[in-house]
Structure formats: C-alpha cells, structure tokens
C-alpha cells in the first residue's frame, strides 16, 4: 500500500514540475531540441573525449621523443650500438660512457628475481584459487594486493638496515671465509661480503615482484571455466591433478603474460635496487658484489651530473630502458591478445 | 567391462514417490538413490528422491528448468562435494554400496560414474589423443599399446574415430562443437565407467550433431548404463527407456518412457508433457 | 599403475609445498611492515608533525625536527598530479568504454598498458625534460606532472572497467527516451559509476604516493617549508618517498629513525587509500 503511494507521487511530480513551464512530461520529451544539442553535441563531445584520451598515446610517444632527443648527444658521440655495448662508464676521470654494465646488471637482477619468485608466486596463486577456504583466500588476496602496493623505498629502507646486514652476517661472511680457506681463486668471482650487491638486490627484487606475479596469476586462474575443473574432477582426479590437468594448462597464456609483466616491473624497479645494489659502474660484476642497473644509475647520478655529456648519457640509458620496457610490454600485450584474455589488471 | 558379480539383482524395488511399477525380471539394478536430498545452506535443491537406475538402460531426467534434475544428477557422482555450501542427505547405492558412506573416496567414485557436461569440455591444450587418455594417465597407465587400443576403442564407441583418426595429435579445441562433445564422451568412456551421466549433452549443439549424439546413446546402452538430463521432452522420448519427471525439487513420477509419454500416472506429468506448464 | 595411495601421497606433498611457499612469500613482507612500525613509532610525536627537518645538526644536537613540510609537500604534489591526470584519465577511460568501435581504441589500450608498465623513473625524466628544463628549476609542479603520468594509465583503466560495469540496457534506456549519446554518457553513465571512479583515483594515488624515483629530479626535495605560498608549486618541494630515500642513505642515525617514521606515514597513506578503495568497491558491487 505504501509503495503504491510513492509510485504515484513519482509519476505525478514531473507533471507538476513541467506544467509550470507550460509543458507536460511527454511534451518535454518530445520537444524539438536545438541542432547543437542533438547533432553537434554528440560530435563535439566525442572529439573532446578523443582529445583527452589521445593524451595517453601522446604521452608515450612524447616520452620516446624526449628521451631520444635529450640522449642524442651521447648516442651520436658513441653510436647507437657503441653506446649500448660500451663497457666503460667513467664520469670522473676519462669522461667516457657506455651502457653495457647497466644492461648486464638489469638483466641479471630481473631474470634472477623472476627465477626465484616464479614458483612461489604460482604456489600462492594455486593456494588462494584452488585450495584455501574462501575467507582465507580473501585475506591472502587482499594482503597480496596490499603488499604489491608497498612503496619501493620502504622495502629499500628495510633492505639497507635489516636485510643486507643480516645476509652479510648470516651467509656472505661464512661462505666467503669458507671460500678463502678452500678455494681462494674463486673469491673474486664470489665478491666482497659487504652485504650490498647483486645477490641482495635480486632477492629483494624477488620479494617485491612475487605479489605482482601472484595477482596476475590468480586473475588467470579465475578465468578458467568451472566446467574445465569439473570435467577433470569427473574423471576421478584429485585436487592437485585437477590443477595440473585442467587449471594450469588453460591459464598458461595468462600466466605467461603475467610473467612478462612482472619482468617489465623488475626491469624498471628503481629505488629498492638503487639502495641495495652497491652501485658499481663497471664490469666485471661478482655474485654478491656491487653492481648497477639502468634505473639505479639514473637515480644515483642524475642529480649530481654536471657535464652535459654525462646528463645526456644518463638520459640515453633511459632511452634504452624505454625500448626494453616497450618490447617487454608489447610482448605481454601480444600474449594476452593471443590467448584472448581481457587485459592486464592495473595493480 | 562389467563385473556381473557386483550387480545386485532386483527383487523388490521400493519406489516411494511413484506407484506400482514392476520391473521385468531380467533387469538388474545398477544404481539406486534412496531419499536423496541436496541442500544449499538451508534450502533444498532436491528433496527425498528415490529412483532405481537399471543396468544398460537409458534413464532420462526431465522437468522444467530449476526443477533440480541437474542437481540430482550431480549428486550421483558426488560433484556437490566441490560446492562449498552444499550438503547431501540420503544415500546413493552403486552396485549395492552407498557412495556417501563414510570412508568412501569421491575420487574413486567419480571414476565409476563418467560425466558429460552441457558444454563440451575437452582440455583445449591437450591433443585429441591426450584428451581421451587423460583419465588413464591419472592412474599411471603408460603402456603405449594399451593406450593406443583404448583411444581407438573409445573414439569408435563415441563415433568419432573415422573423423579424427588421422589427426590425433591436433588439439582438442580445434574440433567442431559436436565433435568436441563426442570427444568428451570418448574421454568419459575411456576409463570404463559403470554409469555415464549426461547433463543436457546436446543443449549447446546444432540439430545435426544432436542427432548423432542421440544415435550414439542408442549404441552405447549396449555396454553402459546412461542417465541423461534433458530439457527436451522429444529427446527423452527418443533415447530413454525410463523417465523421471522432476518438479520443484521433487520427483513427481518415475516410469517407463513409453508409459510416461502415453498414459502417465500423475496429472502434473500429463500437464507438463502436454505443454500446460513448464 | 599408480595406486590411490601414491596419488594421495603426491597430493599431500603438493599441498605441503604450496602451503610452505605461501607462508614463505607472505612472511618477509609482514616482517617488513612490522619492522617499519616498530622502528619508526618512537619518532612519531608532535614535533614530527609540526617541525621542519632543517640541517643535520639540528637533529644531532637534539633540537626538535619533523617532517611537516614533507607531509604538506606530498599532499600538494599528489593533489596536483590528480588534478592533472583526472580529466585525461577519465577521458581515455570513457573513450575505451563508450566508443568501442573507434579505430584508435586497440592502439590506445595497448599504449595505456605500456605506459602503465613503463618504469616510473622514465616518467620522472619526461617531466624533467618537459617542465624542469624549460622552467629552469625543480618544482612541485614538475613532480605533479611526473606523478600524473604515473596515475594516468591507472585512472584510464579503472574508469574503463567502472563504466563497463554499467549494463548496456541503462544506456539504451537513456537513448530510448530521446537523450543524445553525450547526455547519456555525461549524466547517466558517469554518475552511475561514481564509486568505480573514486576507487580508480584512490588506487592511482596509492600507487603514485610511494613513487620516489620520478620525484628525485622533479620536485627534488627541500629541508624546509616553502617560504611563500606559490613555492609549494613553483619551488623545490619535499615529498615522503623522496625524503625517506634521502634520510635512509644519510650518515646520521637520528635521520635514520626519522626515515622509519616517514615510512609509517607513507604506509598509512597507501594502506588507508587502498582500504577505502576496497570498501567502496565492496559496498557498490
């Protein structure tokens, strides 16, 4: 009864409202609109939206142009490949620049961290998507999402004051002593046990990208149709057999794309790596000794660069970083498209 | 394929919801549900269903959508164990033994009751060959000779062999919808189940493929017991020997198909079959 | 033949392995959160929220120091970033969702994801080249531009998915009563997806507020409050992540503790915006 009354008043109101301007509701709706409102409005609005949206495309293009233009001095002086494969980076004495040490450092740390983190990330994803009860999955899901959002500097801070000293005292020192006692010729390859270096940075990087890979893998698992799982169960499969037989194969495209995106993340990860890698600009690197990556050298030297060629070289490093990131992201996009997934989640 | 000793002979079948159907003497009971209920939380999906399933016969489950026929079917191979808030009461006797008895492992049960789903479910990344042997691989059968033989036999049973024998290594996802469904059937048959459960197996297929599946069901019942859920009454009439009519989560009538479609015992069955509701 | 017993043994081993990994992954991250809190809580006091940092001697001689200028700076720079990124991000999201037939849409979706995947340090270089260089100095504005580029693809994506959540029938209902398409989008679709839009901005904020790399050479950092109001925009400005970095690599133990405290505040920003975003989403859907 009460509902009816409100229904009536809703119907009544517009009539009252528009009668004051001498039109009923139906007349109001049938009223002929101005040309601008009907046709031009749509067109102008769409142009306006396209113009705003186009900034996304423009930003990426401008980024490429700017990085190339500001890095041109270095690229021209040393050559495109000369700079890429130049093994010396010496801003102080010889004033000579080559990006190769940083490319090596970036590839080692990111591939290493991916290798460390892939299986655990897959395990967490399997646990949340297939094994854990819903409430626990919910908690872990929120936790991984939150952890993926922890700022890089905070992890770097912890790394500097807690993790690196701990690694040094617990592992590096002991292994180093053992090597000195047993096989001293191996010591330079292992590196000095100062705590800050490739190994520490790689492990920290792995800790940082695990939640990211996990979130993307869980997304891929969620897209596996219920029927696929049930079909496997109906054949008499145990839970793990279902995961192995139906879930992982079906989600492999999404997992692969997730790995690619995580790789892109690892390549570009800056602050924690810059704080922990020890910043050594020249090859050769050792296993636990200091090194540098492309982002870390930009962050460490950009503020102090005085020479034009130094600044230009740093931006050129950024340009190469741009190209690598672009390629990695495009591959990820291609994989996602090929396996017809609906796209990356913005974590 | 079937161990005769496991089959319990039917002497007196107790059908609660239906009246006086006397099974012929030569029929044996393969599967039987006794007062089977499935609950979601506190509401019933189906309630107190008792049906006998005869060996090497086709039993059709019909009724309007939402009547619980699929819910019942899924209770027969313990698929509800996978749904978090679903509970099953009552018992299902497979060859005389309750599959819901404590200590009975659903993994074992599901091997004995193969299942075919509404949508074809080949594993898209596996080849046709691997799809068929997926169930055998689980128990670790690796002998190539055995596997080859099983693949050919199952695909022949599923009337798919002639179409795919030259491309067994191509992915299962590359087949047409009807072929995919027959591949799913072959996969279910490969583990030699006692019973084949089919959940609206033709609802996503074109008429031609549907006909082929129906022909297939006719052939298959020589070797395996089949329970088929269908929303299509003509299909039930064409393929089944026995029919169970479900309505609002309850069993209204269980009868031989010929009797059900000519002189049903129950008024509501007649109303449904003549299109007065549903 | 594999016996059932063996298969279940395998199952048990896998469960153990998976559970072990899950614990192994979550533990260090929880340790980090606990560490930041325990180490930093001692430096959280009234001074922390009311005083400037000043020179290192100020902390070493025990005079009151704090990061009030850093917190204000963070809010200013991130607010600028949201102001800059919001129209473009929403525009891009509307384009992706409402004009799915547009030729450029596939390109745009890929470009948006690519931009999102670009290292933040490059976004800093972009802002440095576009704003700092022409203006001749580091500024809060350039930091805002850098973070806006960080936020832009996130807002675009979440706007798209928020709009996609609105069923097509609602748009058709609007068109059916004679509203032109732009009115349907502007006064039906966008208002209906308000919660989703808010979520997108919050997630973008949570992500951008922790970025230090692009700010090091845009807003640069500042040990003091800006002496004039516009200085927050046109002069060098302190921000939490960049300050945290400087404090962490400084040689002064007093500053290290301030760094941990800055970590608490930064985490507070991230977690709160993240939590609100989650709650908004849950209430809505």
CATH of the domain at A301: 1.10.3720.10
Q: Does A137 touch chain B (CB under 8 A)?
A: no
Confidence tier at B104 by pLDDT (50, 70, 90): confident
Decide if B20 contacts B256 (C-beta within 8 A).
no
Q: Say yes or no: A228 contacts chain B, CB-CB below 8 A.
A: yes
pLDDT at A72 exceeding the cut of 50: yes
What are the tens digits of pLDDT across the range C81-106?
999 999 999 999 999 988 888 888 88
Interval A17-28 mean pLDDT: 52
| Contact (CB, 8 A) for B106 and B92 | no
Per-residue pLDDT, A307: 82
Q: A127 vs C221, which has greater pLDDT?
A: A127
Looking at per-residue pLDDT, the higher value among B90 and C1 belongs to B90
End-to-end CA distance of chain B, in Å? Answer: 39
**pLDDT, mean of residues A201-219:** 92
B142: three-class secondary structure by DSSP: coil
pLDDT at A341: 42
Whether the predicted pLDDT of B10 surpasses 50: no
pLDDT at B27: 75
Distance CA B277, CA C214 (A): 68
Element (H, E) at A213: helix A198-222
Mean pLDDT over B162-181 rounds to 87
A53: chain C residues, CB-CB within 8 Å: 88, 91-96, 108, 156
Categorize the per-residue pLDDT at C74 as very low, low, confident or very high, splitting at 50, 70 and 90: very high
| Chain A contact present for B134, CB below 8 A | yes
Residue A160 maps to a domain: yes
pLDDT bucket at A323, cuts 50 / 70 / 90: very high
Quick check: A203 contacting C, CB < 8 Å? no
Total count of domains within chain A: 1
Residue showing tokens 């695909």: B155
- What is the number of helices (H) and of strands (E) in chain C? 16, 0
State residue A12's pLDDT score. Answer: 41
pLDDT digits (tens, 9 = 90+) for C196-211: 889 899 999 999 999 9
Residues from chain A contacting residue C245 (CB–CB below 8 Å): 153, 156, 271, 275
Residue range(s) defining the domain that contains residue A121: 50-338
Average pLDDT for residues B136-144, to the nearest whole number? Answer: 85
pLDDT at B4 over 80: no
Out of A268-282, B218-232, C49-63, C144-158, pick the least confident. Answer: C49-63
Q: What is the mean pLDDT of residues B83-106?
A: 86
Please tell me the distance from the alpha carbon of residue B208 to that of residue A279, in angstroms, as a whole number: 70
User: For residue A211, which residues of chain C lie inside 8 Å, CB to CB?
Assistant: 25, 29
Evaluate if residue A225 carries a pLDDT over 90: no
pLDDT digits (tens, 9 = 90+) for A279-306: 888 877 888 888 899 999 999 988 888 7
B&C contacts, CB < 8 Å: 13
Residue A131 domain-assigned? yes
Residue C262 has pLDDT above 80, yes or no: yes
B138 with C7: Cβ contact below 8 A? yes
Give the residue-averaged pLDDT of C244-270: 90
Q: Residue C1: which of B107, B108, B141 has the nearest Cβ?
A: B141
The pLDDT assigned to C121 comes to: 93
d(CA A61, CA A71): 15
Domain assignment of residue A345, yes or no: no
Q: Greater confidence, B8 or A238?
A: A238
Within a domain: residue A38? no
Going by pLDDT thresholds of 50, 70 and 90, the confidence category of residue A92 is: confident
* pLDDT tens digits for range C136-180: 888 889 999 999 999 999 999 999 989 988 888 888 888 888 788
Q: Is the pLDDT of residue A68 over 90?
A: yes
Tell me the backbone φ, ψ of residue C136, rounded to 5 degrees.
80, 15
Helix (H) or strand (E) holding C50, with range, is helix C46-50
Q: Is the pLDDT of residue A17 over 70?
A: no
Mean pLDDT, residues A240-249 taken together: 90
CA A304, CA A294: separation in Å to the nearest integer? 16
Query: What average pLDDT is seen over chain B?
Result: 83
DSSP code at position A96: B
Which stretch of DSSP H or E encloses residue A262? helix A248-268
Q: Is the pLDDT of residue B19 over 50?
A: no
Q: Which of B105, B109, B139, B191 to mutate to test the interface with C (most CBs of C within 10 A)?
A: B139
Q: Mean pLDDT, to the nearest integer, of B238-251?
A: 90
Is A27 within the bounds of a domain? Answer: no
Binary contact (C248, A330; C-beta < 8 A): no
Cβ contact C18–A127 (<8 Å) = yes
pLDDT of residue C86: 93
How confident is the model at residue A10, as a pLDDT? 39
Interface contact flag, B138 C1, Cβ < 8 Å: no
Q: Could you tell me what percent of chain B has a pLDDT over 90? A: 15
pLDDT band at B1 (very low <50, low <70, confident <90, very high): very low
CB environment B61-94: b (16+ within 10 A), e (fewer)? bbbeeebbbbbbbbbbbbbbbeeeebebebbbbb
- CB proximity list for A273: less than 8 A, separation 6 or greater: A109, A156, A201, A204, A205, A293, A295, A296
Work out the widest C-alpha separation in chain B, in whole angstroms. 56
Average pLDDT, chain A: 83
The nearest CA of chain B is from the CA of A146 a distance in Å of: 27
Tell me if A116 is assigned to some domain: yes
Asked if residue B12 has pLDDT above 50, the reply is no
Determine the pLDDT at residue C195: 86
Residues ≥6 apart with Cβ < 8 Å to B70: B199, B200, B229
Evaluate if residue C1 carries a pLDDT over 70: no
Q: How far is A137 from chain C (nearest CA, A)?
A: 11
B-chain residues near A228 (CB < 8 A): 121, 123
- Closest by Cα among C211, C129, C137 to A67: C129
Mean pLDDT of C228-251: 87
Q: Which chain B residues have any C-beta within 8 angstroms of a chain C C-beta?
A: 105, 107-108, 138-141
Per cent of chain A over pLDDT 70 is 86
Spatial separation of the C-alpha atoms in residues A317 and A97, rounded to whole Å: 10
Q: Contact A234/B125, CB-based, under 8 Å?
A: no
Of the candidates A134, A225, A249, the beta carbon closest to that of B125 is on A249
Closest-CA residue of chain C to B106: C4
Of the listed ranges A104-113, B3-12, C16-25, C26-35, the least confidently predicted one is B3-12
Domain membership of residue A167 (yes or no) is: yes
Residue A19: predicted pLDDT: 43
Query: DSSP strand E in chain C: where?
Result: none
pLDDT of residue A75: 87
Return the pLDDT at A33. 62
CB atoms B140 and C1 under 8 Å: yes
Within-domain flag for A19: no
Lowest mean pLDDT, pick from A141-145, A203-207, A240-244: A141-145
pLDDT at B53 over 70: yes
Residue A227: closest C-alpha in chain B: B121
Query: What six digits make up the tokens of A218?
Result: 């869980």
């Amino acid at each position: 009864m009460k509902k009816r009354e409100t229904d009536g008043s809703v119907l009544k109101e517009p009539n009252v409202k528009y009668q004051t301007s001498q039109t009923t509701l139906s007349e109001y709706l049938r009223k002929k609109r101005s040309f601008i409102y009907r046709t031009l409005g749509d067109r102008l609005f769409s142009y306006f939206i396209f113009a705003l949206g186009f900034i996304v495309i423009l930003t990426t293009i401008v980024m490429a142009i700017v990085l190339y233009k500001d890095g041109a001095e270095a690229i021209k002086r040393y050559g495109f490949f000369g700079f890429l494969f130049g093994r010396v980076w010496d801003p102080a004495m010889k004033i000579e620049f080559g990006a190769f040490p940083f490319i090596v450092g970036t590839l080692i740390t990111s591939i290493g961290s991916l290798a460390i983190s892939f299986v655990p990330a897959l395990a967490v994803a399997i646990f949340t998507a297939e094994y854990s009860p819903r409430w626990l999955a919910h908690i872990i899901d929120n936790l991984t999402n939150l952890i993926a959002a922890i700022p890089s500097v905070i992890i770097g801070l912890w790394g500097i004051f807690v993790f690196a000293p701990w690694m040094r005292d617990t592992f590096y020192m002991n292994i180093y002593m053992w090597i000195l006692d047993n096989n001293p010729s191996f010591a330079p390859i292992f590196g000095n046990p100062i705590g800050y270096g490739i190994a520490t940075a790689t492990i920290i990087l792995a800790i940082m990208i695990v939640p990211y890979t996990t979130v993307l893998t869980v997304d891929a698992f969620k897209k596996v149709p219920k029927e696929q799982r049930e079909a496997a169960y109906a054949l008499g499969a145990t839970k793990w057999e279902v995961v192995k037989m139906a879930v992982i194969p079906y989600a492999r495209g999404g997992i692969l794309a997730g790995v690619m995106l995580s790789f892109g993340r690892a390549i570009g990860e800056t602050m924690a790596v810059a704080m922990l890698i020890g910043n050594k600009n020249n090859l050769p690197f050792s296993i636990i000794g200091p090194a540098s990556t492309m982002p870390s050298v930009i962050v460490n030297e950009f503020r102090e660069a005085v020479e034009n060629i130094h600044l230009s070289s740093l931006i050129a490093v950024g340009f190469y970083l741009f190209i690598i990131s672009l390629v990695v992201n495009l591959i990820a996009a291609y994989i996602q498209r090929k396996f017809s997934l609906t796209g990356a989640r913005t974590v | 394929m079937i161990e005769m000793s496991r089959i319990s002979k039917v002497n007196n079948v107790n059908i609660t919801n239906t009246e006086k159907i006397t099974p012929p003497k030569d029929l044996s009971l393969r599967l039987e549900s006794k007062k089977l209920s499935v609950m979601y939380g506190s509401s019933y999906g189906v309630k107190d269903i008792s049906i006998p399933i005869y060996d090497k016969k086709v039993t059709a489950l019909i009724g309007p959508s939402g009547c619980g026929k699929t819910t019942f079917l899924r209770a027969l191979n313990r698929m509800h164990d996978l749904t978090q808030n679903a509970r099953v009461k009552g018992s299902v006797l497979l060859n005389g033994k309750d599959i819901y008895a404590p200590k009975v492992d659903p993994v074992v049960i599901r091997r004995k009751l193969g299942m075919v789903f509404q949508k074809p479910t080949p594993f898209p990344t596996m080849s046709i060959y691997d799809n068929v042997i997926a169930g055998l691989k689980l128990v670790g059968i690796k002998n190539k000779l055995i596997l080859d033989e099983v693949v050919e036999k199952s695909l022949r049973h599923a009337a798919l062999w002639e179409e795919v024998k030259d491309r067994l290594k191509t992915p299962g996802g590359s087949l047409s919808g009807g072929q995919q469904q027959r591949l799913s059937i072959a996969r279910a048959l490969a583990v030699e189940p006692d019973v084949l459960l089919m959940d609206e197996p033709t609802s996503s297929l074109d008429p031609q493929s549907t006909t082929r599946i129906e022909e297939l069901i006719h052939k298959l019942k020589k070797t395996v017991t089949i329970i088929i859920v269908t929303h299509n009454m003509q299909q039930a009439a064409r393929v089944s020997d026995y029919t169970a009519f479900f309505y609002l989560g309850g069993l209204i009538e269980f009868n031989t198909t010929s009797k059900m479609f000519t002189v049903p015992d129950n008024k509501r069955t007649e109303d449904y079959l003549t299109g007065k509701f549903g | 033949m594999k016996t059932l017993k063996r298969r279940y043994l395998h199952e048990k081993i896998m469960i153990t392995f998976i559970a072990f990994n899950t614990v192994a992954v979550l533990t260090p991250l929880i340790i980090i959160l606990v560490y930041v809190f325990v180490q930093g809580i001692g430096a959280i006091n009234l001074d922390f929220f009311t005083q400037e940092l000043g020179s290192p001697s100020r902390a070493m001689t025990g005079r009151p120091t704090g990061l009030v200028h850093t917190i204000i700076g963070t809010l200013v720079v991130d607010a600028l970033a949201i102001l800059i990124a919001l129209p473009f991000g929403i525009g891009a999201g509307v384009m992706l969702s409402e004009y799915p037939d547009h030729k450029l849409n596939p390109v745009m979706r890929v470009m948006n994801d690519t931009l999102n995947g670009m290292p933040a340090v490059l976004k800093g270089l972009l802002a440095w080249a576009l704003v700092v260089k022409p203006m001749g100095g580091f500024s809060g504005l350039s930091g805002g531009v850098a973070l806006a580029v960080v936020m832009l693809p996130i807002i675009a994506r979440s706007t798209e998915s928020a709009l996609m959540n609105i069923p097509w029938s609602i748009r058709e209902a609007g068109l059916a009563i004679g509203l032109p398409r732009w009115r349907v989008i502007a006064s039906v679709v966008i208002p209906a997806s308000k919660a989703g839009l808010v979520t997108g901005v919050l997630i973008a904020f949570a992500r951008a507020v922790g970025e230090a790399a692009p700010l090091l050479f845009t807003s640069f950092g500042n040990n003091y409050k800006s002496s004039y109001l516009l200085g927050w925009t046109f002069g060098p400005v302190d921000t939490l992540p960049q300050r945290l970095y400087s404090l962490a690599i400084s040689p002064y133990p007093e500053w290290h503790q301030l760094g941990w405290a800055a970590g608490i505040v930064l985490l507070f920003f991230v977690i709160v915006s993240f939590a609100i975003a989650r709650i908004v989403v849950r209430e809505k859907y």
